[in-house]
Amino acid sequence: MTITLEGRVALVTGAGRGIGEAIARTLATAGARVAVLSRTEANAQQVAHQIREAGGEAMAITADVSDASAVEKAIETLLERWERLDILVNNAGITRDTLLLRMKDEDWDRVLEVNLRGAFIATRAALKPMLRQRWGRIINISSVVGLTGNVGQANYVASKAALIGFTRTVALEVGSRNITCNAIAPGLIETDMTRALSEQVREYALQRIPLGRFGTPNEVAFGVLFLCSELASYITGQVLIIDGGLTAGL
């Protein structure tokens, strides 16, 4: 059995680099038309260009997910061109790590604004065409720290834990319209976000991962592909953990 997304239209946020880029490429390889949304124009353009070079169909969109009017306009543009929206992957995310006592209001607000409010804004706008179509897949990229907590990441952890509650609620509200909503909780994945960690933190983390290595962006993207496909038609409101076993035994 092969997984195909032929005829589907997908929007992936934060797709200019890292996990989002891998998700956009993977969905395009499976046959979806993909809108590559990112904050930095050059990154979005490059990923869309590479998808087209590989024979896929893609458009680049530059927008900040915390800007409601920019995201709504992006979805309008997508609908004008492709006339449907089947898959939304809320992947854009940032960290501003520091211990709680040192955390500034703006560090808290900005992380919640991008990671949580961004997903809310995009989901609300994407649901309209999905409801009309009676078909939709929404995937929110959370994190294992949203399940476990993590020192120095109160803002990030709060946003990722909230995304799980958000996921379950969306699943409840739109399930009757054949729209599923699931979360993925990655562990440590090799991207710019984890490359910014100190050698000491990376070493400590590595020792706790049963598979003995960080994951690759593609290994998260394959989970997204599965959840977007017909193979996952009866899965909704769930959290798929992709962490090399990091949380096993906790």
Contact (CB, 8 A) for 159 and 202 = no
Contacts (CB under 6 A) with ligand NAP, residues 50-69: 64-66
Pick the binder of ligand NAP from 5, 9, 12, 18 (CB under 6 A): 18
**The tokens of 5 are what?**
């997304």
Does 20 engage in binding with ligand NAP (CB under 6 A)? yes
Closest to ligand NAP by CB, 57 vs 64, is: 64
β pairing state of 179-186 and 239-242: parallel
C-beta of 91 vs 180, nearer to ligand NAP: 91
**Residue that is written with structure tokens 């609300």 in the block:** 124
Residues in the chain: 250
Q: Which is nearer to ligand NAP, 106 or 134 (CB)?
A: 106
**Residue 194, interface with ligand NAP (CB under 6 A)?**
yes
Catalytic residue, chosen from 28, 44, 156, 188, is 156
User: What whole-number distance in Å separates Cα of residue 14 and Cα of residue 39?
Assistant: 7
Stretch that binds ligand NAP, among 3-11, 35-43, 127-135, 229-237 (CB under 6 A): 35-43
Fill in the amino acid letter for 83.
E
Q: Per-residue string for binding with ligand NAP, 95-124, x by CB under 6 A?
A: -------------------x----------
Single-letter code of the amino acid located at 78:
L
Tokens of residue 42, six digits: 């050059």
Distance in angstroms (rounded) separating the CA atoms of residues 130 and 137: 8
Closest to ligand NAP by CB, 132 vs 195, is 195
The Cβ of residue 190 has, within 10 Å, a number of other Cβ atoms equal to 15
Give the 3-state secondary structure of residue 223.
helix
Tell me which stretch binds ligand NAP (CB under 6 A): 85-93, 119-127, 222-230, 231-239. 85-93
SS (H, E, C) 135-163: CEEEEEECCCHHHHCCCCCHHHHHHHHHH
Would you give the binding string for ligand NAP spanning residues 140-169, x where CB under 6 A is met?
A: -x-x--------------------------
Task: Just list the catalytic residues.
Answer: 156
Site residues for ligand NAP per CB under 6 A: 13-14, 16-20, 38-40, 43, 64-66, 91-94, 114, 141, 143, 186, 188-189, 191-194
